[in-house]
Amino acid sequence: MTTRKETAVPEEILVTGGTGLLGRLVVQHLLDEGARVRVMSRRPRPADDASPYAWATADLRSGAGVAEAVAGVAAVVHCATAFGRQAELQLVRTLVEAAGRGGSPHLLYTSIVGVDRIPLPYYKGKLAAEQLVQQSGLPHTVLRATQFHDLLRTVFAAAATAPVVMPVPDFRFQPVDAGEVAARLASLAVGEPVGRAPDFAGPEVRQAGEFAAAYLRASDRRRRILPVRLPGRTFRAYRSGAHLAPDQTVGKVTFEDYLAGIPDVRGRSYRQR
């Protein structure tokens, strides 16, 4: 009698926005954990991309290719995003509907600390998208994170284009390393759905001006940092700390650590890593 050796083939995980800042890092962590990965992008796979993942060309706004992209996957890590309240919600709606028809995969939604407290249109879209996921009947996990270090660097690079004075907001931040958030998402994706996961926030709550000073030191520039009081309800909410999670300082990588790992710290590309 011959015995056939069974080899367990890991189930496939779809990463929407797998070409973006966070999504690329999630893909890498999943591959490192031995998962099979499918990347979703609106673009066709680049001819020189020989990475060990599958590729699904799909558009979550129009719906083109989405049914095929979600077919047969065990989980979907949703890292695609579109700015604007309706646009963000539309992408999630398309995904939820396709996932519901495609075998009920574990759906993971990446959100932001404070989407329920800061009246930015994009945040309102993210809050509505969270609710859509939670009411979808799909097994799901929602993870809120604070601002990525990359976002602060991009803001400071733009502010430092003025030669003498560098205007920065007069409130605090608690930035987090996108790689650490990606690692958490990857481990959540291979586990059981948890509903709302504990928030993932960076290691330090400091004034924007202190982070700006670190950016100037790392990029070897001198500017006078000018804290600016921005008007309106949205910035009042930021001043009150609505985007912070000081009891969830889970991230270990500080803004200075992050800057030390960026070859061209002055570069203004958000996606440059």
Ligand X SMILES: NC(=O)c1ccc[n+]([C@@H]2O[C@H](COP(=O)([O-])OP(=O)(O)OC[C@H]3O[C@@H](n4cnc5c(N)ncnc54)[C@H](OP(=O)(O)O)[C@@H]3O)[C@@H](O)[C@H]2O)c1
Size, binding site for ligand X by CB under 6 A: 26
SS3 of residue 117 by DSSP = coil
Alpha carbon distance 125, 135 (integer Å): 15
Q: Which H or E run contains 66?
A: helix 66-70
Asked if 258 interacts with ligand X (CB under 6 A), we say no
Q: Which of 100, 81, 96 is nearest to 42 (CA)?
A: 81
What does R_g of the chain's alpha carbons equal in angstroms?
20
Asked if 42 interacts with ligand X (CB under 6 A), we say yes
Question: Among 81, 219, 248, 254, which residue sits at the site for ligand X (rule: CB under 6 A)?
Answer: 81
Asked if 23 interacts with ligand X (CB under 6 A), we say yes
Instruction: Compare residues 89 and 265 and give the one whose CB is closer to ligand X.
Output: 89
Alpha carbon distance 219, 92 (integer Å): 38
Residue at token pair 């011959």: 2
Asked if 254 interacts with ligand X (CB under 6 A), we say no
Asked if 102 interacts with ligand X (CB under 6 A), we say no
Shortest Cβ 145–ligand X spacing (Å): 4
Shortest Cβ 72–ligand X spacing (Å): 19
Burial track 225-256 (b if 16+ CB lie within 10 A, e otherwise): beeeeeeeeebebbeebbbbbeebbbbebbbe
Residues of this chain, 149-178, that bind ligand X according to CB under 6 A: 151
SS3 of residue 247 by DSSP = coil
Instruction: Compare residues 10 and 195 and give the one whose CB is closer to ligand X.
Output: 195
Site string for ligand X, 210-249 (x = CB under 6 A): ----------------------------------------
Asked if 209 interacts with ligand X (CB under 6 A), we say no
Residues near ligand X (CB under 6 A) are: 16-17, 19-23, 40-43, 59-61, 79-82, 91, 110, 112, 145, 147-148, 151, 271
